[in-house]
Chains A and B, each alone.
Chain A
């Protein structure tokens, strides 16, 4: 698992250097240390610096998570008085999105943040921006060439599956011949494949658990309901369900309610507010959700600002911002849901 170890390394380094930095600066002031650790540690610092214009091009927000991405980017940019955000109309059309990024290049923005509908297809325009001297922050769906971006920030799809599988494995480890069902997302997306691979890898650690069925839905409520209804019909009894996406999970929960089933535990994905509410209320089969945090958009704005002002990131003891940043897919359960509820999206 090269991905895991690389991530481990990255976080390990980050934690160690952050720790060293904090100890060095504030070792005799424990109170300040506390605030530094919980303030979300924005890039550079919060004091206004040199004015920066950030161009933001994202996909059409036709899905709860994508909508949260846009909101996170906008609200974080508003926090900085010297940051101007130039946002394009969201689009799922590759040609249209290329045109929008080109427009932002022509407008000579200082930094670009691009969440492409299709990472591979947008690589060329990323290269174009970099050659024009505009650094690109590639958000989530990765470009095909590292030359096309200065920094990549995104979620960990493999880790999402891994953590979901590990959580389910721990819940069922004492149960002989346990059966698990997977309701995947859109099957022709790379991210779906990675989520499933991570899930399978985690389940390998638990020989008593078997994945008995897997169906793909379309990230929509309607498809979640339809596919889940079929899965429930096909599997008369199972012990756990992993659903890749909380939006389609609304439909899946509805199908479960309609079938009157409750013999299993369900783990969701992405971190919608409705899912977190259900976990907190603890009155459905949904017991946990694995985050794919939309706050990565806010992080991208922070990094873009630091890049535009030629600063490093506070706490990382670097002169430059990193080239790659993978967000952690935390498992939200009843025990820690209050902590994560503010990041839940509608």
Chain B
């Protein structure tokens, strides 16, 4: 008696949406830009938070410097979340993002790399991210290792390598061109360069997911991998590309973190995997795959960063912060259950 409900719910999405999004070159409805109920609810949460911040700490919260700070702090985890959104949309998961950020950041800040200056650090960070993503992708797509296990193993080993490289030491960056990128004098029209990178990654991610064959394939694989395969998609290659993409995002994030903190440390990116997954899920991406939204993910990240900011401005202690963060995740997922179009069918 208890079985029909879940299985009926599962068979719904399996049957209907995957082929539709595949065969039609034009989507059935304007993708992405359509402001659905869920996006609206997120904007509502954000508006409430801004009101709370404005009322409790009017001087500190409603201030240009604070707006710059919130956006900067959202940038690094935001870029990771964009990559995570793709992976989750395809029905996978990447638990190694924090470890990839750590490994890429310490590799890029070793003394040898610093000799090559700005380009050397960027190049190494991105290359290490791509390399680790490639290993994840090959294991999952061709080795048929479950994503949860493959990336969990990578979480452990990448952190291990990062620890080996640093020997537990903090690697301080001395390349001034990198350090300058994090200082107010390099702001463009009042916008910190890190926020610009975040914006660029967001726009690129949105276009890739909503306006390209690659994006449609990602959704199709997540909706129903078997149907996608029958429709002629190379599911394995698609999966490989997705974990590569996640690695690339982590490489970029690692560089951003180096700029922000002026150093590389093996503890970098601690618990990013949880933050990125939470932000994507709150944003409206389905953990079971088949539906993803970049706009939602970015809003999810902004909700979290704004909360952290309001907590700190009001001088709340860490225990209260953790409880409130957990409560907000549950609340947001409950709201998602009521507003997601899929839940209505």
Q: Taking beta carbons and an 8 Å cutoff, which residues of A are in contact with B?
A: 60-64, 66-67, 187-188, 213-216, 218-227, 229-231, 233-234, 236, 247, 250-251, 254, 257-260, 272, 274, 346
- Given A222-B267, A254-B261, verify A63-B73 contact (CB < 8 Å): no
Residues of B within 8 A of A226 (CB): 73
Are B313 and A233 within 8 A (Cβ)?
A: yes
**A233-B268 in contact (CB<8A):** no
- Whether, in the assembled complex, B309 has its beta carbon less than 8 Å from a beta carbon of chain A, the answer is yes
Q: Can you name 14 extra interface pairs (CB under 8 A) apart from A187-B318, A229-B72, A247-B170?
A: A61-B167, A62-B168, A187-B317, A221-B262, A222-B265, A223-B270, A229-B73, A233-B63, A250-B170, A251-B261, A254-B262, A257-B262, A259-B65, A346-B169
Q: Is B184 an interface residue (CB 8 A)?
A: yes
- The chain B residue with its CB closest to the CB of A214 is B315
The residues in B between 259 and 296 inclusive whose CB is less than 8 angstroms from any CB of A are: 260-263, 265-270
Q: Contact check, B69 vs A61: say whether CB atoms are below 8 A apart.
A: no
What is the chain A residue whose CB lies nearest that of B73?
A: A226
Tell me, in angstroms, the Cα distance from A219 to B266 when the chains sit together. Answer: 12
Indicate whether A220 sits within 8 Å of B315 (C-beta atoms), given known contacts A236-B60, A254-B182: no
Specify which chain B residues have a CB less than 8 angstroms from the CB of A258 in the assembled complex: 182-184
Instruction: Tell whether, in the assembled complex, residue B312 and residue A260 are in contact, meaning their CB atoms are under 8 Å apart.
Output: no
**A163: shortest Cβ distance to chain B, in Å?**
24
Q: How many residues of B contact A (CB 8 A)?
A: 37
Binary contact track B181-215/A, C-beta < 8 Å → 1, others 0? 01110000000000000000000000000000000
**Residues of A contacting B59 in the complex (Cβ-Cβ under 8 angstroms):** 236
Minimum distance in angstroms from A200 CB to a CB of chain B: 14
The reply to whether A260 and B270 contact each other, CB–CB distance below 8 Å, is: no
A51 to B315, CA, bound (A): 56
Which residues of B (4-29) have their CB < 8 Å from a CB of A?
none
Choose among A188, A233, A259, A260 the residue with the greatest number of B CB atoms under 10 Å from its CB. A233
- Alpha-carbon separation in the docked complex, A115 to B269 (Å): 26
27 contacts between A and B (CB under 8 A): A64-B168, A66-B168, A67-B167, A67-B169, A187-B319, A215-B318, A216-B317, A216-B318, A219-B267, A220-B265, A221-B267, A226-B73, A229-B72, A229-B73, A230-B309, A233-B60, A233-B65, A233-B69, A247-B265, A250-B261, A254-B260, A254-B261, A254-B262, A257-B183, A259-B65, A260-B184, A274-B172
9 shortest A-B CB distances, which residue pairs? A230-B312, A67-B168, A61-B168, A220-B267, A187-B318, A254-B262, A216-B318, A346-B169, A234-B313
What is the total of A-B residue contacts with beta carbons within 8 Å? 109
- B261's partner among A61, A62, A188, A222 (CB-CB below 8 A) is A222
Minimum C-beta distance from A90 to chain B (A): 9
Chain B residues numbered 289-318 whose CB sits less than 8 Å from any CB in chain A: 308-309, 312-313, 315, 317-318
Contact present for B268 and A221 (CB under 8 Å) = yes
Say what secondary structure dominates the interface of chain A. helix
- In angstroms, how far is the closest chain A Cβ from the Cβ of B128? 17
Complex CA gap A233/B172 in Å reads 25
A250 near B65 (CB under 8 angstroms)? no
Residues of B within 8 A of A (CB): 57, 59-60, 63, 65-66, 69, 72-73, 163, 167-170, 172, 182-184, 257, 260-263, 265-270, 308-309, 312-313, 315, 317-319
> Shortest Cβ distance from A93 into chain B, in angstroms?
12
Closest-CB distance, A124 to chain B (whole angstroms): 27
Chain A residues near B261 (CB-CB < 8 A): 221-222, 224-225, 250-251, 254
Say which residue of B263, B309, B315, B317 sits within 8 Å of A221 (CB atoms): B263
Q: List residues of chain A with CB within 8 A of the CB of B317.
A: 187, 214, 216
A259 to chain B, nearest CB (A): 8
Interface centre among B168, B260, B313 (most CB of A within 10 A): B168
In the bound complex, CA of A272 to CA of B315 (Å): 28
Structural contact, A274 and B170, CB atoms closer than 8 A: yes
Q: Which residues of B lie under 8 Å from residue A254 when comparing CB positions?
A: 182, 260-263
Q: Chain A residue with minimal CB distance to B313? A: A234
| Chain A residues whose CB sits within 8 angstroms of the CB of B263 once the complex forms | 221, 250-251, 254
* Distance of A248 from chain B, by nearest CB (Å): 10
A142 to chain B, nearest CB (A): 23
Q: How far is the CA of A261 from the CA of B167 in the complex (A)?
A: 32
